[in-house]
């Protein structure tokens, strides 16, 4: 009896496991599931968790990744409004917004088929948006002229509209331009233009540098002369102040102008004979007038 109980328990466990595998299914956190009954979609999409089902062939479960998918379209050429061939590539973050519609739109809910459809819509969207903008709307130092974000938004809006109209069950979460380019032959032309611009820059750098340097030197020279002239004027002014100040003491000399003049002359004479002077005098010059009473023809020279 004891052995039978164990056997029954084991059998029951195995039966439960088998039944669970047969009648339940799990939907992972990042997934959403659609259940079909005899091939027709039945009930709303299943959210993450454990769900019941009838076994095949009554019901069939289709699981879809509900996360945001990455898609990058091909690097294709289009003409801008100013007739420039511009190559663009965009990246798209898209997700399955309506699993039932997605399953109906694409065989077996194929992601590859959905991305192929997305590529087709993006090609049309890019052709329309590139064609209605000039190159300066894509690249421009002037913020008011640059429409980079607006063009991205227009492409996204175009794609969203197409997806909604056709009820593909897909929703765009974000879209951005991934790459801009020019055809190979155009890049060579751009290089030629860039080279010419660089040569102009070289010429400017050399000439402007020398001219600017000369200007700086001339200005400095002029400034130096002005500084010296100002200093000279200031010196004259200072000397004038000194003379004026000294003039206040002239009243002292007015007490006896004769003595004052004598002193000035005496000082002038002393200053002029102070050093390295040659003095030639005769008997009339004091104190040598003393020689008048002495007969002599001697020459005197300092040692």
Question: Taking CB under 8 A as the criterion, which residues in 98-127 touch other proteins?
Answer: none
| Site for other proteins contains 188 (CB under 8 A) | yes
Q: Which is nearer to other proteins, 38 or 283 (CB)?
A: 283
SS3 29: coil
Q: Which is nearer to other proteins, 65 or 98 (CB)?
A: 65
* One character per residue 53-82, x = contact with other proteins (rule: CB under 8 A): ------------x-xxxx-x--x-------
Using the rule CB under 8 A, give the single segment among 34-42, 115-123, 156-164, 177-185 that binds other proteins.
Answer: 177-185
Phi-psi region of 49 (alpha: psi -120 to 50; beta: other; left: phi over 0): left
SS3 86: strand
Question: Given candidates 110, 116, 161, 214, which one binds other proteins under the rule CB under 8 A?
Answer: 214
Using the rule CB under 8 A, give the single segment among 35-43, 119-127, 156-164, 173-181 that binds other proteins.
Answer: 173-181
Place of tokens 């010429």: 203
Task: Report d(CA 133, CA 140) in Å as an integer.
Answer: 13
- Distances, alpha carbon 25 to alpha carbons 4, 22, 51, 83, in Å: 32, 8, 5, 57
CB of 53 to other proteins, least distance (A): 14
Question: Given candidates 115, 129, 236, 293, which one binds other proteins under the rule CB under 8 A?
Answer: 236
Q: Which is nearer to other proteins, 165 or 248 (CB)?
A: 248
Query: Within positions 34 to 53, which residues make up the interface with other proteins, using CB under 8 A?
Result: 48-50
| Site for other proteins contains 135 (CB under 8 A) | yes
Using the rule CB under 8 A, give the single segment among 34-42, 54-62, 120-128, 215-223 that binds other proteins.
Answer: 215-223
> Using the 8-state DSSP alphabet, how is residue 31 labeled?
E
Query: Within positions 252 to 291, which residues make up the interface with other proteins, using CB under 8 A?
Result: 252-253, 255-256, 258-260, 262-263, 266-267, 269-270, 273-288, 291
Task: Report d(CA 261, CA 295) in Å as an integer.
Answer: 35
CB of 165 to other proteins, least distance (A): 25
**Number of residues counted as binding other proteins (CB under 8 A):** 124
CB of 85 to other proteins, least distance (A): 10
CB of 36 to other proteins, least distance (A): 20
CB of 136 to other proteins, least distance (A): 8
Omega into 107 within 30° of 0, i.e. cis? Answer: no
Question: Given candidates 36, 78, 91, 104, which one binds other proteins under the rule CB under 8 A?
Answer: 91
| Pick from 62, 66, 64: nearest CA to 34 | 62
Instruction: Answer whether 72's CB lies under 8 Å from 93's CB.
Output: no
Question: ∠28-32-37 over CA atoms, to 5°?
Answer: 115
3-state secondary structure 161-219: HHHHHHCCCEEEEEEEEEEEECCHHHHHHHHHHHHHHHHHHHHHHHHHHHHHHHHHHHH
Question: Given candidates 148, 154, 157, 160, which one binds other proteins under the rule CB under 8 A?
Answer: 148
Copy the structure tokens of residue 93: 């973050």
Using the rule CB under 8 A, give the single segment among 25-33, 37-45, 53-61, 116-124 that binds other proteins.
Answer: 25-33
Task: Report d(CA 1, CA 197) in Å as an integer.
Answer: 100
């Amino acid at each position: 009896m004891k052995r039978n109980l164990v056997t029954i328990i084991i059998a029951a466990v195995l039966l439960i496991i088998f039944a669970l595998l047969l009648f339940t299914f799990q939907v992972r956190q990042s997934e959403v599931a659609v259940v079909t009954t005899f091939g027709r979609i039945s009930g709303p999409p299943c959210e993450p968790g454990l769900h019941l089902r009838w076994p095949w062939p009554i019901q069939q479960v289709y699981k879809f990744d509900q996360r945001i998918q990455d898609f990058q379209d091909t690097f294709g050429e289009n003409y801008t409004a100013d007739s420039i061939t511009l190559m663009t590539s965009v990246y798209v973050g898209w997700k399955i917004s309506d699993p039932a519609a997605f399953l109906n739109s694409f065989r077996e809910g194929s992601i590859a088929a959905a991305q192929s459809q997305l590529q087709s819509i993006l090609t049309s969207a890019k052709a329309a948006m590139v064609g209605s903008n000039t190159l300066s709307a894509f690249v421009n130092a002037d913020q008011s002229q640059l429409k980079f974000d607006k063009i991205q938004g227009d492409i996204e809006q175009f794609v969203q509209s197409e997806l909604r109209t056709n009820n593909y069950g897909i929703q765009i979460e974000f879209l951005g331009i991934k790459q801009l380019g020019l055809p190979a032959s155009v890049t060579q032309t751009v290089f030629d233009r860039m080279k010419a611009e660089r040569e102009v820059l070289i010429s400017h750098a050399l000439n402007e540098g020398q001219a600017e340097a000369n200007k700086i030197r001339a200005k400095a020279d002029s400034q130096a002369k002005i500084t010296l002239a100002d200093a000279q004027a200031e010196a004259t002014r200072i000397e004038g102040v000194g003379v004026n100040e000294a003039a206040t003491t002239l009243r002292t000399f007015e007490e006896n102008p004769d003595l004052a003049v004598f002193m000035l002359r005496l000082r002038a004479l002393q200053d002029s004979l102070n050093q390295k002077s040659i003095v030639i005098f005769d008997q009339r010059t004091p104190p040598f007038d003393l020689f008048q009473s002495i007969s002599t023809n001697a020459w005197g020279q300092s040692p």
